[in-house]
Structures are given as structure tokens and as C-alpha cells.
Amino acid sequence: MNTILIADREPAHRQQIRLHIAGRPEFRVVGECGNRHETIRYVNALEPDILFLDVQLGGDRAFDLIQQTDHLPKIIYTADTELHALQAFHHQALDYLLKPCGAARLDAALQKAISPTVAGTLQQKNPTQSPYHLNFFVEDGKRLRRLAVCDICYLKAARDYTVIYSTHGEFLSASGIGSIEQRLDPSRFLRVHRSFIVNVECVHACYRDVGRFYLQLENGQEIGVGKRYVSNIKPLIL
């Protein structure tokens, strides 16, 4: 069962989406929100799998809104115009729907939310060939420097950017952390928080404190594991 939260300024649009989902037994609406603060609170408390988010919720600040949540669901943005479409896909949009949302477009967006990722499909088609790169190029002053993936210790989201912490220093990437995650080997790099991806080989210890998991890296850095991501590290615990 995939849980859904609907966040929209207009009750009529929330109702339209809710009634459409009512006919899909594989989905369940767990809540509705009509303002910014309510949405942040509900996303963190309910941890929905999918969020329908009005791009103008909170006065054109929906993209900032999702940066403030501890939980990061799959986001289907809704809007009155195509004006924010490009910006939405830079903020990890699963889809972008124009209001009023037609039944066919809603079905397509919902299907996309439960479909396997492209990376997963590639691995199935080419089980012996890894789709992941061993090296990247990062900005280093006025030049692009080659950075071996194995030298990356962890990555931290910085709004629309990502800070890469490596054995050779820190580098800033203009790509969002979600985009970079798709290019990293999940057997080596784990998303442990909406703002952090860690290289498992750089983790020195894992411990629980006050009901929450923490990772301690070899350099002493400690990173808290978000509720949604605990399942990513449990298979590594014997």
C-alpha cells in the first residue's frame, strides 16, 4: 500500500485528487494540507510515500518547503501553469501536473510512482555490467578535477547544491543530492538521511541513542539516520 499526502491551497483540487485515488486500491490518502506549516508537520509525522504538492503553496515557496522536512517522499507537483515546470524537475519532481488534473495524467503519475527506477531496469538487463561510473569530474577552481568514486566519504545536501566530502578535500556540485544518488552504486553508497549519502567503506561504527541510529565515520564525523532510511542500513547489521 502506497500512502499519499495531498497539499494544495484549493479544497476543490484536493478533493479531485482524493476521489480519483479512492478508485485505486494500491494507494491510500493519509492526509490533506492547505498551507505550508501544516504540510511540513504532516510530511514529518505521516512520512507518506507520495506527496502531491501545489507549487504555489506558501506563496511560490513550495520548493523551499520540501527542504525543511526530515522525510523526503516522491513528489508530484501540481500547478496552474507550466511556469515552474523546469524548476520542479530540478527539485526532484517525479511528475508535474497542470490543474485541473485529468484522470489519464493522474494515472500516469501514480504509475510512475510505483514503477521500477531506470537504474534498476538497467541492472536487470545487464546483470554483469555495472551502470555506475568509477570516476567523476568536480569543479576545483577554474578546472575540472577527476575524483575517484572510492575516494568520496559522504555527500551532504546544500539546498540546490551538494557538498562532496572526499579524502582530497571538499567540492561543491551544482547537482542536487537526489540526482547524484542515481549515479552512485547503491551497494557502496547508502542514503541515510534526506540530506546525507555515505560511503559504507568509510563508516567506522553504528550505534543507537535515544531510539535513533547514528553512523560514525572514520574521520569522526557523526551522521544521524533518518526514520525513512533505517531500512537501508539494517541489512548490514548481523
What do you get for the CA distance between the two ends of the chain, in Å?
Answer: 29
Domain segments of the chain as ranges:
2-115, 135-236
Asked if residue 152 lies in contact with residue 198, where contact means CB atoms within 8 angstroms, the answer is no
Q: Which position has the grid cell 546525507? A: 196
CA pair distance 52, 77, nearest whole angstrom? 6
Which pLDDT value is given to residue 187? Answer: 85
What is this structure's pTM? Answer: 0.55
Q: Where is pLDDT greater, at 32 or 236?
A: 32
Which pLDDT value is given to residue 60? Answer: 57
H-run or E-run covering 77? strand 74-79
Same-fold call for 2-115 versus 135-236: no
Per DSSP, 227 falls in state: G
31-47 confidence digits (pLDDT tens): 999 999 999 999 989 99
CA pair distance 186, 201, nearest whole angstrom? 12
Q: Where is pLDDT greater, at 81 or 60?
A: 81
When pLDDT is cut at 50, 70 and 90, the band that residue 116 belongs to is low
The DSSP bridge pattern shows strands 74-79 and 203-209 to be: unpaired
**Set of cell numbers at residue 226:** 533518518
pLDDT > 70: percent of the chain: 91
Q: Over the chain, what is the mean pLDDT?
A: 86
Is pLDDT of 130 > 60? Answer: no
When pLDDT is cut at 50, 70 and 90, the band that residue 189 belongs to is very high
Is pLDDT of 140 > 90? Answer: no
Cα radius of gyration rounded to whole Å, the chain: 19
The stretch 4-13 carries a mean pLDDT of 95
What are the CA-CA distances from residue 75 to residues 49, 51, 110, 151, 191 (Å)?
A: 9, 5, 11, 31, 17
CA pair distance 223, 90, nearest whole angstrom? 25
pLDDT > 90: percent of the chain: 42
* CATH 2.40.50.1020 applies to domain 135-236: yes
Is pLDDT of 121 > 80? Answer: no
Which pLDDT value is given to residue 59? Answer: 64
Q: Which fold has domain 2-115?
A: Rossmann fold (3.40.50)
Is pLDDT of 58 > 90? Answer: no
Q: Where is pLDDT greater, at 182 or 222?
A: 222
**Set of cell numbers at residue 10:** 484549493
